[in-house]
């Protein structure tokens, strides 16, 4: 089963054979009453468009507005913000028996217009179902997607309209084509809990779900479920004096207990392990919202290590930063 991009903007892509040379970054906001809106950014790698001899207006349409943008060091031509709103799920109340009883795949096109309709058709099913106190979001991948998928059409050395003929989104994902980005963010009305599925390419932070489809495909997982409900249990972090043995020597830490487990400040741990075989350094990359860990290197002191965090319980929130160990991204639950 061959999948092709199907939104209004992406149909223009197909007409010139550039269906995969895209930066797709979408945002879907779901309100508590079932209403909401979509907003997404669609771009094409400028160098690829130039090689075809086509103009931006050929790609986006003569009446469309676009701008140049550099994303991750690559130059794109990006359609100006495009989005739509809906009043409620499929034009029905969120409590509708029709929605609660079965498959709402048919409503996706009208609920989310082009964005989620395209995701459901091209990448895998996306359903939003009302549950007691909120919503359940189910996300999946088509069977054809996976870490071992093989391209049927090979990306050409020389890009032309003819050389890209027949190229599908699966061909591009299978070859990890440079410039292909497929990301979607869901802003839910209440705090979110992931109830099933792996962590690679999936980030949950408060009410926000961020999906990186390329990483999700490489993970080998096929489905994910999230619940956003107003009665989600609050998580409490309680200050706890803790002692850890480092090479036989007791080291006191000011930790937090969260749901029965002790959590230590990363910099405190790195500080305590200086001079040991387990030493590692910690660096913060504010530009890319990332933490970089380097094994075998003594920790660089920045100040504030091993200091008290103060009395009183805290309300923790998941970190959105990526973590890199010796230059390779690692996943933590």
Structure confidence by residue, pLDDT tens digits, 213-253: 999 999 999 999 999 998 656 677 888 888 888 888 888 88
**Do 261 and 225 share a structural domain?**
no
- Residue finishing a domain among 175, 204, 229: 229
Is residue 211's pLDDT more than 80?
A: yes
50, 148: one domain? yes
CB atoms closer than 10 angstroms to residue 127 = 18
Specify the pTM.
0.60
Q: Which residues contact 321 (CB under 8 A, 6 or more apart)?
A: 289, 290, 291
Domain total of the chain: 2
Three-class SS state of 218:
helix
pLDDT digits (tens, 9 = 90+) for 6-40: 332 333 333 323 343 467 788 888 888 878 788 87
**Contact between 45 and 18 (Cβ < 8 Å):** no
Domain boundary pick from 229, 248, 281? 229
Question: What are the phi and psi torsion angles at 238 (to 5°)?
Answer: -110, 125
Both 265 and 292 in one domain: the answer is: yes
Asked whether residue 55 falls in the same domain as residue 78, the answer is: yes
Residues 315 and 225 placed together within one structural domain of the fold: no
Could you tell me if residue 69 is inside a domain? yes
Assess if residue 2 is contained within a domain. Answer: no
Q: Which of 7-21, 126-140, 198-212 has the lowest mean pLDDT?
A: 7-21
- Domain assignment of residue 71, yes or no: yes
Q: Are residues 218 and 243 in the same domain?
A: no
The parent domain of residue 257 ranges over 237-330
Beta bridge partners, 278, equal none
Two structure tokens written together for 321:
């930063």
Q: How many helices (H) and strands (E) does the chain have?
A: 8, 19
Last residue of a domain, one of 179, 211, 229: 229
Kindly state whether residues 225 and 250 are assigned to the same domain. Answer: no
Is residue 23 included in any domain, yes or no?
A: yes
């Amino acid at each position: 089963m061959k999948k092709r991009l199907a939104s209004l903007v992406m149909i223009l892509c197909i007409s010139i054979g550039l269906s995969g040379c895209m930066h797709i970054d979408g945002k879907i906001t779901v309100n508590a009453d079932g209403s909401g809106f979509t907003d997404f950014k669609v771009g094409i790698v400028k160098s690829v468009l130039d090689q075809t001899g086509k103009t931006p207006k050929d790609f986006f349409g003569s009446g469309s507005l676009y701008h140049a943008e550099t994303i991750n060091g690559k130059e794109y031509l990006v359609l100006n913000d495009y989005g739509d709103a809906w009043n409620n799920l499929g034009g029905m109340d969120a409590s509708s028996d029709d929605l609660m009883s079965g498959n709402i795949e048919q409503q996706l096109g009208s609920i989310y217009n082009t964005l989620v309709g395209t995701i459901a058709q091209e990448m895998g099913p996306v359903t939003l179902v009302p549950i007691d106190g909120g919503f359940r979001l189910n996300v999946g991948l088509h069977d054809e997607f996976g870490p071992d998928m093989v391209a049927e059409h090979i990306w050409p050395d020389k890009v032309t309209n003819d050389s890209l003929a027949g190229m599908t989104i699966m061909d591009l994902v299978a070859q990890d084509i440079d410039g292909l980005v497929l990301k979607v963010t869901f802003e839910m009305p209440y705090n979110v809990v992931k109830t099933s599925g792996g962590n690679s390419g999936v980030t949950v932070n408060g009410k926000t779900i961020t999906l990186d489809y390329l990483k999700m495909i490489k993970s080998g997982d096929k489905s994910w479920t999230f619940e956003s409900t107003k009665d989600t249990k609050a998580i409490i972090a309680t200050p706890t004096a803790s002692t850890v043995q480092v090479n036989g020597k007791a080291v006191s830490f000011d930790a937090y207990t969260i749901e029965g487990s002790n959590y230590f400040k990363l910099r405190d741990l790195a500080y305590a392990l200086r001079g040991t075989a387990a030493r590692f350094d910690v660096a913060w990359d504010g530009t890319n919202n990332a933490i970089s860990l380097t094994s075998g290197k003594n920790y660089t002191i920045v100040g504030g290590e091993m200091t008290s965090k103060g009395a009183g319980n805290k309300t923790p929130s998941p970190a959105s930063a990526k973590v890199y160990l010796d230059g390779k991204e690692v996943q933590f639950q």
